[in-house]
Amino acid sequence: MNKRLTIMLLLAGLALSGCGTTTGDRGLSGAAIGASAGAVGAALLGGPVALVALVGGAAGAATGVATSPSAVDLGKPVWEH
């Protein structure tokens, strides 16, 4: 069960790592999501939390920088409806 949850969190983090309109925004949000997903996953599985969070943050930042705003369209934010 923990492995399944970890995989789901990592996939959700990667899917959301393109949030933001500028390259910097997407990189920062990707880093935050990746680091969070990595830390949670390592804590659940008993791995080295800091190391996995660092790797997750780097992967999330790279994914966020590599995407364009049109690659991930989550629609209008809730507060703009």
Number of domains the chain contains: 1
Q: How far apart are the C-alpha atoms of 76 and 73, rounded to whole Å?
A: 9
pLDDT digits (tens, 9 = 90+) for 11-31: 776 666 556 677 888 888 888
Residue 80 within a domain: no
- Domain hosting 47: range is 2-68
> What is the pLDDT averaged over residues 50-71?
86
Orientation angle between helical segments 49-66 and 2-16, nearest 10 degrees:
30
Q: How far apart are the C-alpha atoms of 67 and 22, rounded to whole Å?
A: 10
Residue 42 has pLDDT above 80, yes or no: yes
Q: What is the pLDDT of residue 55?
A: 92
The pTM of the whole model exceeds 0.75: no
Residue 51 within a domain: yes
Q: How far apart are the C-alpha atoms of 22 and 19, rounded to whole Å?
A: 9
